Structure 1
Amino acid sequence: MSKKLDRKGFLKMSTAGLSTSVLAGMALSKPVVAKNRTNQGRPIRLGFVGIGGRGTWHLSAALGIEGVEVPAICEIRADRLENAKNMVEASGRPSPTLYGEGPMGETDFERLCAEEDLDAVICSTSWKWHAPIVLAAMNNDKHAACEVPLMLTLDEAWRIVETYEKTGKWASTVLGGFPDVTLLNMIRHGVFGEVLHIEDGYVHDLRFVKNNIEREPWRLQHSIDRNGNLYPDHPMRTIMPAMDINHGDRIDFLVSMSSKAVMLNRYAAEQFGTDHPDATRTMNQGDYNASLIRTVNGKMITLNFDTNTPHPRESFRLQGTKGVYEDGADVETIYLEGPSPESHEWESAEPYLEEYEHPMLKNYNPPPRVGGAIEGHGRRMDQTPINWHNLIMAITEGTQPYIDTYDSVTSSAVSAVTEASVANNGRPVDFPDFTKGKWKERTPIFMEA
């Protein structure tokens, strides 16, 4: 078991400045500093592309942080663009330059990236635009923070990696959330011994969303055109650091297979009638997809994907050489060989979670938000989320967010590789090494500095 973290080494974040965060005391992946430029002492300038539900939530998050400016917004829907403009003005900031309504339409983000003086572009559009937007930002001397997935194809993945290595401008899926650092703290302290296997997934009934053309009309098309694990990033954001993927280990290969596709047709028939086009339209995406992933060092991941069947949300399971942890629908349980009071019987994980609560979370005390709680498609919050703080700190200090370019690309690329395996009758497919061998020396994230 590793020595305990010295909590005195974690500085409480105060209203004096974001750079004093406890996150600064943790070793992230080795940073690349773009042109040795930092933003200490000057405002952070962000441009937003896509102001739907998630984009509104991120804009609201940014406007509550003192020292953040929003000079430019791009959105193809006039009502959303106007609402975003009003939000910026209501915060007391200057009215932003608006993009998206001119002749360039959907590609007007290219003009924003080329013309605006920005530190980073925040991307919250439909999936197909993620890679083009982050590439446009990076090629115009701007970082890119993106909702998941970062890209859809392996060609896009390699283009992002090569652009990052050429320009020094990163692209990160930091907007997608933050890993379970308390569980990671337990792993770092050797509670579970050596981690052997993790099972997780995106298991979330989205039939209503896919059939709601007003909400996200693009989402159903992915089920029509594709077949694999189309949304791996949410589970992978905790799995990757828990297994040190790209930081001492890497994904070697995977196998993936999908069930038949029946549920979206049945849902459309039940909701809209048997004459509705979606009741008989061919759906490529199987209703349930399971993928087995193996790392070079022999660890395994079971990754599930099911957004088409009726069910509650997903569960999580971690198996180590000393015991197991499970986060079910309503309860978190644990069994550790030796410490657990009854042999081969579950006990509540709550005492362990309290004991090993990560100091990063325990000491997280950001400045009060300007203008109140965060609004939009996401949890209503009165506090700046820690991943948004991590994003701002990275820009301020000239580093990268906790999930850097290599890790962000790796996480999203799981989708494309599972599609290749499904298309080849579930045969193994080798996983690209986007780090080009650097995974052997890269420091695990959230280690003691």
Structure 2
Amino acid sequence: MNSNRRNFIKKTSLVGAGIALTPNLSKANLFSTNRPSEAVYMGGFAAPKLDTVRIAFIGVGARGSGHASQFAAIEGTEVVAICDLYDDLAKKSEKVCKEHGKGERHKNIKLYTNGENDWKKMLEEQKPDAVVIATPWEVHASMALGAMNAGSHAFVEVPLALTIDEMWQLVDTSEKTKKHCMMMENVNYGREELLYLNMCRQGVIGELLHGEAAYIHELRGQMNEVERGTGSWRTYEYAERNGNLYPTHGLGPVAQYMNLARGEDNFKYLNSFSSPAKGRALYAKENFPADHKWNQLNFKGGDINTSIIKTDLGRTIMVQWDETSPRPYTRLNLIQGTNGTLASFPTRIALEGGVEGATESHHEWAEGEDLQKIYEKYEHPLYKRLGELAKKMGGHGGMDFMMRYRIVECLRKGEPLDQNLYEGCLWSAVGPLSEASVAANGAPQEFPDFTRGSWKSTDALAIVE
């Protein structure tokens, strides 16, 4: 999508959803503690049970097609509609969904491919129970707002929104409509992430002190998707914004280890710094003609951003983001406590006094086959139940399927979701707050309390059996 088209989509989507954006919110608004009397706190909210979850999809491209396929494969779902800008993508997902239905489910899937606002018509006509949104970042919030106002639960790809103002609108709308608005952070369902969550809950590494989270994934090749695909819109994000644009894959699990916004601790403020912006411009120069539109962009976003979060209890979290530099993939996924440290990439553990059957002290890591006893003792019950099926179904090693399965399971059982609205907002808030901090030479930026103080009475995420 070119700049004019991106601006058009943003304006029409927001106007169509009935949103009044305020460019500069006052501090009083950002940190408001007043919840309207008709609103319901969504931290542990459980919606009424659904025997069958009627699902619609907005966006079935690179990410959304996987959502459509796997949700359709889960018992208790009915795919009722698919919306996309491209008719071929919609028809491809329709075919896959019907194959999963084996002629018994997903019989009457309605396609909506008539332009950028057809998703609104889909919501009005189909009235789905749940809407899965996998579109460019800038329209996530407007589509989620539209879905909730139409009576549907909203399940949104990461990040949940791009501005603090949008996040407050999502909070207010979810609380008013009593509809879920969950950011689908799949990494929280990775095997190691679930293992470490269980170990933290059982106190294996003592009192938690520090975490390290990242999304370091070289994705310059997406710039070859010039007219269609992820690179066609995401390249503009790298050019126009300078901060940590994609924090949630690394941060989500660490935040849940620490029970942030869940009774124990909460986000307080962050400081953020970006490196020079070099890699994207160099890639464009080396791979595209001099007059190509990528070579006309002024890439402002630093190649790597490092942000430091401070919590109410004084804990620290380092969050890094780099989708440009030539280096191996990592999410870091490190959590450090008074009795040891758990880390990933590669998976490794160090404990005071050593790891049973592997090491004799914390001066060396236990890793590889030496961790077998750790897995046997602390494997998360959810992975024990669903791990083999998840690996068979696929999606980033099975984490995608496990997330989708749990969404359906919670909706059908009438149970709270594993990730609540406020976590999605807080994890996503690193984006705009880091941009503000970078622009202010690293000055601290305070996190809004999207829960309006209710996090203090919110239960920790349960170790689901």
- Does the pair score TM above 0.5? yes
2:139 aligns with 129
Contact residue 201 and residue 303 of structure 1 kept, 8 A: yes
**Using a 3 Å threshold, how does the CA distance of structure 1 residues 46 and 336 change in structure 2: closer, same or farther?**
same
Q: Which runs of 5+ in 2 are unaligned?
A: 1-41
1:170 aligns with 180
**Using a 3 Å threshold, how does the CA distance of structure 1 residues 277 and 73 change in structure 2: closer, same or farther?**
closer
- Alpha-carbon distance in 2 for matches of 1:283, 1:82: 36
- 1:108 CA displacement: 1.5
- Alpha-carbon distance in 1 for matches of 2:374, 2:98: 46
Contact residue 148 and residue 233 of structure 1 kept, 8 A: yes
- Alpha-carbon distance in 2 for matches of 1:62, 1:448: 20
2:158 aligns with 148
- 1:279 CA displacement: 3.6
Matched, 1:258 2:271: no
Contact residue 254 and residue 334 of structure 2 kept, 8 A: no
- Describe the SS at the equivalent of 1:302: strand
Contact residue 147 and residue 176 of structure 1 kept, 8 A: no
2:375 aligns with 353
**Using a 3 Å threshold, how does the CA distance of structure 1 residues 448 and 66 change in structure 2: closer, same or farther?**
closer
**Comparing both structures, which one devotes a greater share of its residues to helix?**
2
Matched, 1:364 2:382: no
- 1:448 CA displacement: 7.5
- 1:215 CA displacement: 2.9
- Describe the SS at the equivalent of 2:80: strand
Matched, 1:215 2:203: no
- Alpha-carbon distance in 2 for matches of 1:429, 1:59: 38
- 1:219 CA displacement: 0.6
1:423 aligns with 439
- 1:274 CA displacement: 4.5
| CA deviation profile, 1:59-78 (whole Å, cap 9, x unmatched) | 11012112211111111111
**Using a 3 Å threshold, how does the CA distance of structure 1 residues 175 and 68 change in structure 2: closer, same or farther?**
farther
1:318 aligns with 335
- Describe the SS at the equivalent of 2:54: strand
- Alpha-carbon distance in 2 for matches of 1:293, 1:86: 45
Q: Aligned AA for 2:236? A: Q
Q: Aligned AA for 2:339? A: K
1:38 aligns with 49
Contact residue 88 and residue 95 of structure 1 kept, 8 A: no
Contact residue 333 and residue 346 of structure 1 kept, 8 A: no
After TM superposition, list the pairs within 5 Å mapping 1:272-351 onto structure 2: 272-279=288-295, 281-314=297-330, 315-328=332-345, 331-340=346-355, 341-349=359-367, 350=371, 351=373
- 1:395 CA displacement: 1.4
| CA deviation profile, 1:288-322 (whole Å, cap 9, x unmatched) | 10000000011100000011110001133222111
1:17 aligns with none
- Alpha-carbon distance in 2 for matches of 1:269, 1:384: 36
Paired residues, number: 406
- Alpha-carbon distance in 2 for matches of 1:384, 1:418: 27
- 1:384 CA displacement: 8.1
- 1:374 CA displacement: 5.1
- Alpha-carbon distance in 1 for matches of 2:143, 2:464: 35
Higher mean displacement: 406-415 or 267-276:
267-276
Q: Aligned AA for 2:382? A: M
Contact residue 43 and residue 69 of structure 1 kept, 8 A: yes
- Describe the SS at the equivalent of 1:407: helix
After TM superposition, list the pairs within 5 Å mapping 1:14-25 onto structure 2: none
- Alpha-carbon distance in 2 for matches of 1:380, 1:422: 35
2:248 aligns with 233
- Alpha-carbon distance in 2 for matches of 1:251, 1:78: 43
Q: Aligned AA for 1:31? A: G
Matched, 1:75 2:90: no
Q: TM-score, normalised by structure 1?
A: 0.85
Contact residue 393 and residue 401 of structure 2 kept, 8 A: no
Task: Determine which structure has greater relative contact order: mean sequence separation of CA pairs < 8 Å that are 6+ residues apart, divided by chain length.
Answer: 1
Contact residue 255 and residue 428 of structure 1 kept, 8 A: yes
- Describe the SS at the equivalent of 1:345: coil
**Using a 3 Å threshold, how does the CA distance of structure 1 residues 48 and 192 change in structure 2: closer, same or farther?**
same
**Using a 3 Å threshold, how does the CA distance of structure 1 residues 183 and 112 change in structure 2: closer, same or farther?**
same
- Alpha-carbon distance in 2 for matches of 1:147, 1:361: 22
Q: Aligned AA for 1:129? A: V
| CA deviation profile, 1:230-264 (whole Å, cap 9, x unmatched) | 00111122011111100121100000010110111
- Alpha-carbon distance in 2 for matches of 1:38, 1:406: 22
- 1:400 CA displacement: 3.3
- Describe the SS at the equivalent of 2:242: coil
Superposed CA RMSD in Å reads 2.3
Q: TM-score, normalised by structure 2?
A: 0.82
Contact residue 227 and residue 258 of structure 1 kept, 8 A: yes
- Alpha-carbon distance in 1 for matches of 2:238, 2:43: 37
After TM superposition, list the pairs within 5 Å mapping 1:372-391 onto structure 2: 378-379=395-396, 385-391=401-407
- 1:57 CA displacement: 0.6
1:26 aligns with none
- 1:107 CA displacement: 1.8
Contact residue 65 and residue 384 of structure 1 kept, 8 A: no
- Alpha-carbon distance in 2 for matches of 1:408, 1:205: 24
1:191 aligns with 204
Q: Aligned AA for 1:268? A: A
- Describe the SS at the equivalent of 1:69: strand
| CA deviation profile, 1:310-347 (whole Å, cap 9, x unmatched) | 0001133222111222223xx32222222354445213
Q: Aligned AA for 1:427? A: A
- 1:415 CA displacement: 0.8
**Using a 3 Å threshold, how does the CA distance of structure 1 residues 361 and 95 change in structure 2: closer, same or farther?**
same
Contact residue 215 and residue 249 of structure 2 kept, 8 A: yes
1:112 aligns with 122
Q: Aligned AA for 1:215? A: G
